[in-house]
Structure 1
Amino acid sequence: MPEIDLIPAWAEECLNLEREALALSWYDNQVVPGLLRTERYAEAVFRNRVPVFSEEKAALQTAGRLERREILHRPEPPTIGFVVWEPVLMLQLLDDERHAEQLRHLRARAALPDICLQVPPLNHRTHAGLDGPFTLLETPDYQRVACSEFQRGSLLVSDPDEVSILAQKYAMLRAQALGPEDTVGLLGRLLGEQ
């Protein structure tokens, strides 16, 4: 039986585009986006994988995920917007202390000038992103593409009509979400500080 490549060619293309992007607009309704994960949270995500990774593969995947965060520290980092659905912030993959560490990490990242973090609240009756996570990317040559996440990987979306639909969804998600300051306040409440 052939082994499935952990990072198929099309997923690798999404990663390469992410590394070079001028702007990223990231939406997730399942887990904290990779660029915002603490090491412990990244490990927990890979520990919950089915079928289970070996310790070695889990460590490699975690290291790769953490390496991707270097995008945030480029000399000229991309402008990045994150929209993360509130249940993701309440999903407790870690013990109380490590969960709080992840929430504090999110709050610290939200304070950076080139990052905008917004949360669509759980109690809203409208939600434009129920179909799943995706990322919009602006390439160095000002082209817009998207990577759509699914169970076994990512799909590169370059068709302008499809990218436009995802851009419309992202715009609606931002409109439905709390503003950046209210998002920081929500993180404080989840941490029990307010």
Structure 2
Amino acid sequence: MQQPKKPKKRHSAAMEVIGAQLAMYRLKAGYTQHSLSEQTTASEETIASVEQGRRALMPHLAMEFDQLLSTGGALAMGVTKLPPKEKYSIWAEEFIEYEKQAISLSCYEQGVLPGLLQTERYARATFRSKIPHVDEETVERRVTARLERQQLLHKSDPVIASFVFSEAVVVSKLGGREVMREQISHLRTCAELDGVSLQILPLSREHHAGLAGPFVVLETLDHEHLAYTEAQRSSVLISDPDEVSILAQKYGMLRMQALDAEESMGLLDQLLGER
């Protein structure tokens, strides 16, 4: 006996409506998905996913499409009316709220690149690698949310952001050769942003301060200092001054043990040449 289909979730149905509207406006204006991608910051893959209702339309793209397709602001208005949907893992939500208001942050990673520096395709590869696996709708929703977070680095008054990550992350082939080449090129672009510093911790170091795992230290608008650590299926947001101080000290040591900014860019250039 055929199992009855589950009712479509409100968020998913609304995404399909907005996707259908985008397709209608695009065709009316005489664009293909490819030609529209050439006139906006959205990739052809992104446009297709949005039109199929598999990915939420990001607010900044909605405004781009509205202007180019002369929709009168219909798409941006539709995005603001989307029903709420979980964007982040439950244990990361509190940290994300503090991150949005941070005036400075220091991030160390050793397994994957920091989310604020990931390309769309690299982010998708990280979410598709999760065990247990998540469905494509969840993958696309979280990719969209991750890209939205990156606006933090592009504000008129951007956060002061320092990143240290292991060389192992950039020599890996997560997502495939082309995904990693695009990602490394994106890191070079990020390094040119105001207030952003990138440093690579080389594999040749015989000892370093990051063996206990990744962490973030940030300062809020109220000059409160917080730290965040994440492990398998859990995370901790730390406000105790003594504990935050220890992680800040670790980060200071990691910056001294890592390649400086110029050397790090040289390594990225070398990797781009090899790929």
CA distance in 2, matches of 1:154, 1:117: 24
Query: Which of 233, 237, 246 is equivalent to 1:156?
Result: 237
CA distance in 2, matches of 1:186, 1:159: 37
One-letter identity of the residue aligned with 1:82: F
One-letter identity of the residue aligned with 1:98: V
Task: Check if 1:7 corresponds to 2:89.
Answer: yes
Query: Which of 103, 126, 134 is equivalent to 1:45?
Result: 126
Question: Can you give the 5+ residue segments of structure 1 that lack an aligned partner in the other structure?
Answer: none
List, as ranges, runs of 4+ consecutive aligned residues in structure 1 with deviation greater than 2 Å: 5-8
Identity %: 49
CA distance in 2, matches of 1:85, 1:134: 13
What TM-score do you get using the length of structure 2 for normalisation?
0.66
State the 1:152 CA deviation: 1.7
Q: Once the two structures are superposed, what CA deviation does each residue of 1:59-95 show, in whole Å capped at 9, x if it has no partner? A: 1111111111011111211100000110011121122
Task: Determine the structure 1 residue equivalent to 2:220.
Answer: 139
Higher relative CO (Cα under 8 Å, sequence separation at least 6) belongs to 1
Structure number, greater radius of gyration: 2
CA distance in 1, matches of 2:184, 2:147: 17
What TM-score do you get using the length of structure 1 for normalisation?
0.93
Give RMSD over aligned pairs: 1.4
Question: Can you give the 5+ residue segments of structure 2 that lack an aligned partner in the other structure?
Answer: 1-86
CA distance in 2, matches of 1:49, 1:122: 25
Query: Which of 30, 41, 49 is equivalent to 2:111?
Result: 30
How many equivalent pairs are there? 188
State the 1:113 CA deviation: 2.7
CA distance in 2, matches of 1:56, 1:83: 31
Q: Is the 8 A contact 2:88 2:145 kept in 1?
A: no
Q: Is the 8 A contact 2:117 2:187 kept in 1?
A: yes
CA distance in 1, matches of 2:214, 2:142: 19
Equivalent residues in 2 for 1:104-143, closer than 5 Å: 104-143=185-224
